[in-house]
Amino acid sequence: MRSRKEMMDMIIEIAEKDVRIRGAYMGGSRTNPNAPRDVFQDYDIVYVVRETESFRMDRGWIDVFGRRMYMQYPDDMPGEGAEPENCYGYLMQFADGNRLDLRLMTLEYAKKDILHDRLCVLLLDKDNMLPAIPDATDEDHWVKKPGKEEYLHCCNEFWWILNSVGKGLWREEVPYVMDMINKYSRPELIKMLSWDVGIDTDFSCSVGKFGKYLKRWLSEDKYDRLVRTYPNADKDAIWQSVWEMCELFDETANRVGKKLGYPYNEMEAHNSRLYLDCTYALPKDAEVFLMVRRMKAADVDKTAEIWLEGNLDAHSFIPEEYWRGNYDDVKRQLAGAEAYVYEDCDGLHGFVGVKDGYIQGVFVRKEMRSKGIGKALLDFCKGKYTELSLHVYSENKKALEFYIREGFQVGKVQSDGNTEQKEYEMIWRKECE
């Protein structure tokens, strides 16, 4: 591999010998005092020329730089905006490992470019026509303090895109999901993390393209969490990375908002994650969307209260002390149970406990009954299992009627050993299509 000195000597020598080339300057990471040094750094070179046509007509002139493995002519690619008569580029990968990104620019074009790139370092000026270039700095690339509207848009975009990510995962459209994450969700996360870094550094640092320098500025734990948001193409792995992304964004956006005095829309974040949770839990053959998600540890107190309220209200024929005496034990059981809650933007309204197709109970907050919540919880279970069973006290007429209406049939009649109350076994089976 040619050394930096060998490459620079060659670049300057070629410019000096070619009368068409009137000046040369370098930019990019090699002139950035804060960029890490390694063997993969490009040589970003501009040759100031009288015209570009003679170079463009002779494709072989670049052979002087060395043996190439492969290259690109970016300004010959389809697309708008190219001005080959004023600016023409060559991207060259050499066999010795070096890479040269060379652009030819007319004098007037180069003068404008120099003014907009504060990482420029002058290498050659045969005619003393180029403007003075101050010491190279990456200040133009420092994280910029966001305005209120920019901050709010970042939050809104991140949480909105999760809708598409979730439905794509449910449909198992992995290519679509990966693009939605990496093209739309991740840039907003990187942006928020960059602002967080900017706050801590008084907005005087660069995190690099796509956040490539974030490792320098984030804590080890936070950087590890960021890395965990980059999944392989396994569906379960993607879901885990999405949860991690949500936690990291929510935490960071809260902090950035407080530091900058901007309002963070916690309701928007909560509802977006709620919809995502419900999407994750939705059975694969569901014909309607259900606001049902897996119960979390934070739900135990609320669900236990709903359990107690429901049993006291529906089972007046059983002493109240029985239910209150079991309250603490039920809370402990709920903490480790397979249970699903019904929650909408107004709160958590009900839950169902189910294990291996056995429904341990369906409970709905009193003021929310007869609104389709119990049915939604049952429909959710029907989507997960081909057969369901449960027990209901014979005295609980409303519950009995509800389950029969929902397609359950009465099976065995028995006595509950704990309450000595007569109860029915109820069974539901999915109809074969």
Lowest model confidence (mean pLDDT) among 112-116, 340-344, 385-389:
112-116
Instruction: Pick the closest to residue 125 from 49, 31, 24, 10 (CA basis).
Output: 24
Predicted confidence at residue 34, as pLDDT, reads: 82
Lowest-pLDDT choice from 118-127, 175-184, 238-247: 118-127
pLDDT at 420: 86
pLDDT category at 431 given cuts 50, 70, 90 is: confident
Per-residue pLDDT tens over the stretch 354-364: 999 999 999 99
pLDDT of residue 35: 84
CA–CA–CA angle 144, 147, 153 (5° rounding): 105
Average model confidence (pLDDT) for the chain?
Answer: 93
What pTM, to 2 d.p., does this model score?
0.82
> Which tokens in the block code for residue 225?
């969490």
Of 402, 405, 410, nearest to 426 by C-alpha is 410
Name the one residue in this structure whose structure tokens are 């359990």: 307
3-state secondary structure 32-46: CCCCCCCCCCCEEEE
Segment 294-320 mean pLDDT: 91
The string of pLDDT tens digits covering residues 158-168 is 999 999 999 99
- Report the sign of the C-alpha dihedral through residues 199, 203, 204, 206, in that order: positive
Domains of the chain in start order, with CATH, are: 4-138 (3.30.460.10), 148-281 (1.20.120.330), 292-429 (3.40.630.30)
- The pLDDT-based confidence of 136 (bands split at 50, 70, 90) is confident
Reply yes or no on whether the pLDDT at 274 is more than 90: yes
Query: Percentage of the chain with pLDDT > 70?
Result: 99
Give pLDDT, residue 80: 67
Lowest-pLDDT range of 96-100, 404-408, 415-419: 415-419
Beta-bridge partners for 355: 358
pLDDT of residue 192: 98
What order do you get walking across the sheet with 409-415 strand by strand?
292-294, 339-344, 347-355, 358-364, 387-393, 422-429, 409-415
Other C-beta atoms closer than 10 Å to the C-beta of 82 total 15
Q: What percent of the chain has a predicted confidence (pLDDT) above 90? A: 80
Round to whole Å and give the CA distance between 255 and 229: 20
E strand or H helix at 58: none
Chain mean position to CA 132: 44
Tokens of residue 66, six digits: 């060395």
Q: How far is CA 395 from CA 150, 301, 398, 420, 424, in A?
A: 60, 28, 9, 12, 10
Angle, in degrees to the nearest 10, between helices 235-260 and 148-170: 170
Spatial neighbors of 386 by CB under 8 A, at least 6 apart, are 357, 429, 430
| Cα separation, 140 vs 144, whole angstroms | 9
Is the pLDDT assigned to residue 153 strictly greater than 80?
Answer: yes
The CA distance from 55 to 136, in Å, is 29
Q: Band of the pLDDT at 134, cuts 50, 70, 90?
A: confident
**pLDDT greater at residue 139 or residue 214:** 214
Backbone phi, then psi, for 25, in 5-degree steps? -150, 160
Spatial distance between the Cα atoms of 252 and 11, rounded to a whole number of angstroms: 45
pLDDT tens for each residue of 222-259: 999 999 999 999 999 999 999 999 999 999 999 999 99
Lowest mean pLDDT among 2-11, 65-74, 78-87, 324-333: 78-87
Q: Would you place residue 29 in the very low, low, confident or very high pLDDT band (cuts 50, 70, 90)?
A: confident
Closest C-alpha among 103, 117, 127 to residue 52: 103
Helices in 98-147 by DSSP H: which ranges?
Answer: 107-116
pLDDT at 81 over 80: no
pLDDT, mean of residues 266-278: 96
Q: Which residues pair with 426 in a beta bridge?
A: 390, 410
Contact 101, 11 (CB under 8 A): no
How far is residue 194 CA from its own chain's centroid? Answer: 15
